[in-house]
């Protein structure tokens, strides 16, 4: 299948290009390298594991998979570019990974909030219109987030639920209650994709993905700590905006920095390893819906609370001789810490998804991959303490002493 990946230089995009190529698909992609710039120039950080330039990546890709990775450099908010790429490549599937993925980044100030919403909504719009006009039969796989639902005091279905109201019944979109401007940008994108399917008969899968963690997929080399070709590795961020929970906890553990659950750490989220994210996206691409269908998949392996994850990382790190402490930080976010969380996640299992392994093994692989880069992480250790609060001015969060109130200072 010909698969186009906007955002092919990112954490997921670079992994997916390889995973699909290894499965025999023809892959092309685009990127404007925003992620590299946000992390390096705005966060003052870098990927914990060094990554190659796009040219080096493409050379390695060709050597490994025997095929060109066609690539366009440019911004998806430029409609002419989007149309040119789709016209030229004529994809059968588009996996849209070209959005800004960070909740904290969207909460910095008005400029960042507006940038994230415009960037994410306009890029999806451009893809929808270009697909309608140039490849209406292609399948759009749109990366949404479990965060679109928020944490309601109800079970969370996959996208839709049955409503019985005043004696009448309907099958309706489950209410969205996002927790950041970024998460709302995903809700707006989802609504537009759903409407485009209804209006123009496009076919789409909206992936409500949980928090992804992991340093590698098998295509990057099977032996932790020593990738066979460094150019194939994907990025791994640990700063306060682009690093996500387990990835940050592992980076913290390898440099003897305290592991940092926010607030009480009792928040619950769905998590999945990078290799499972790839497995799920490949299954989705290879099993498209009918024309006009808009389907929603909740994509995660297991639900954990953050404190539980911090303890898991601490335990696995101890096996490797690392003595990590856990110190809760004042929660920079406005989020519920004690809440019900029970989302469905059946659709991908029905398509054949099988979780790749237990979380402790994945953490073990991550720690082994990160150990050779301890100095690199330690050189930027300041970025581990977040400084973007959901309310209030930008300033470094403090550790939470047990007598302090659990609130933003």
Q: Which residues does the annotation mark as catalytic?
A: 145, 182, 186
User: In degrees, to the nearest 5, what angle opens at C-alpha 309 toward C-alphas 15 and 325?
Assistant: 115
DSSP 255: T
Q: How far is the CB of 85 from ligand USQ (least distance, A)?
A: 23
C-alpha separations of 68 from 28, 63, 174, 207 in Å: 8, 9, 42, 28
Q: Whole-number minimum distance, CB 386 to ligand USQ, in Å?
A: 7
Chain residues in the site for ligand USQ (CB under 6 A):
101-103, 145-147, 209-211, 244-245, 248, 260-262, 265, 267, 269-270, 306, 333, 335
Q: Which is nearer to ligand USQ, 222 or 378 (CB)?
A: 378
Q: How far is the CB of 362 from ligand USQ (least distance, A)?
A: 15
CA angle, 49 then 10 then 363, to 5°: 45
Separation CA 195–CA 18 (nearest Å):
32
Residue 160 CB, shortest distance to ligand USQ, in Å, is 19
Tokens of 396: 């470094």
Task: Give the β-pairing of 2-6 and 26-31.
Answer: parallel
State which residue, 6 or 101, has the beta carbon closest to ligand USQ.
101
Q: Which two tokens stand for residue 129?
A: 């219109």
Residue number closest to ligand USQ, CB atom: 147
- Rounded to 5 degrees, φ, ψ at 16 are -65, -40
**CA distances in angstroms from 259 to 33, 336, 355, listed in the order given:** 30, 20, 26
In angstroms, give the least distance from the CB of 17 to ligand USQ.
19
Beta carbon nearer to ligand USQ, 295 or 333: 333
Least distance CB 293 / ligand USQ (angstroms): 23
Closer residue to ligand USQ in complex, CB, 49/60: 49
| Six token digits for residue 272 | 């999945």
DSSP E strands, 306-350: 342-343
SS3 115: helix
| Three-state SS letters, 118-133 | HHHHHHHHHHHHHHHH
Give 190 or 209: the residue with its C-beta nearer to ligand USQ.
209
- Cα–Cα nearest to 157, from 290, 351, 347, 302: 347
Using a 10 angstrom Cβ sphere, with 0-12 exposed, 13-18 middle and 19 or more buried, the burial of residue 370 is buried
Report how far residue 369's alpha carbon sits from residue 254's, in angstroms, rounded to the nearest whole number.
10
Give Cβ neighbours of residue 405 (< 8 Å, ≥ 6 apart): none
Residue 149 CB, nearest approach to ligand USQ (Å):
8
CB closer to ligand USQ out of 13 and 210? 210
Residue 71 or residue 262: which is nearer to ligand USQ going by CB?
262
């Amino acid at each position: 299948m010909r698969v186009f990946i906007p955002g092919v230089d990112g954490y997921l995009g670079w992994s997916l290009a390889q995973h699909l190529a290894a499965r025999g698909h023809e892959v092309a992609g685009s990127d404007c390298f925003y992620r590299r710039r946000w992390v390096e120039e705005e966060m003052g950080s870098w990927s914990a594991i060094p990554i190659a330039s796009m040219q080096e990546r493409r050379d390695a890709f060709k050597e490994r998979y025997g095929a060109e990775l066609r690539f366009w450099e440019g911004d998806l908010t430029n409609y002419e570019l989007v149309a040119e790429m789709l016209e030229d490549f004529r994809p059968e599937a588009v996996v849209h990974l070209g959005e800004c993925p960070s909740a904290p980044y969207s909460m910095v100030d008005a400029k960042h909030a507006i940038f994230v919403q415009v960037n994410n909504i306009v890029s999806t719009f451009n893809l929808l219109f270009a697909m309608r006009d140039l490849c209406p039969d292609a399948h759009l796989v749109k990366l949404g987030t479990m965060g679109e639902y928020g944490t309601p005091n109800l079970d969370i279905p996959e996208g839709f639920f049955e409503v019985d109201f005043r004696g009448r019944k309907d099958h309706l979109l489950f209410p969205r209650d996002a927790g950041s401007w970024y998460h709302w940008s995903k809700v707006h994108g989802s609504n537009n994709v759903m409407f485009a399917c209804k209006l123009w008969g496009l076919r789409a899968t909206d992936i409500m993905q949980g928090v992804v963690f992991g340093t590698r997929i098998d295509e990057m080399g099977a032996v932790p700590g020593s990738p066979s070709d460094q150019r194939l590795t994907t990025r791994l961020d640990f700063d306060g905006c682009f690093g996500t929970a387990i990835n940050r906890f592992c980076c913290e553990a390898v440099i003897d920095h305290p592991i940092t659950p926010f607030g009480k750490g009792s928040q619950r989220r769905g998590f999945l390893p990078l290799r499972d994210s790839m497995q799920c996206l490949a299954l989705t691409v290879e099993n498209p819906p009918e024309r006009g269908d808009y389907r929603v998949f909740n994509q995660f392996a297991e639900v954990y609370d953050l404190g539980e994850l911090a303890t898991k990382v601490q335990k696995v790190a101890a096996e490797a001789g690392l003595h990590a402490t856990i110190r809760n930080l004042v929660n920079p976010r406005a989020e519920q810490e004690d809440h019900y969380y029970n989302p469905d996640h059946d659709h991908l299992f029905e398509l054949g998804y099988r979780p790749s392994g237990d979380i402790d093994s994945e953490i073990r692989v991550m720690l082994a991959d990160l150990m050779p880069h301890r100095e690199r992480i330690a050189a930027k250790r300041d970025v581990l303490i977040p400084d973007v609060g959901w309310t209030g001015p930008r300033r470094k969060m403090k550790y939470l002493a047990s007598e302090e109130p659990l609130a933003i200072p």
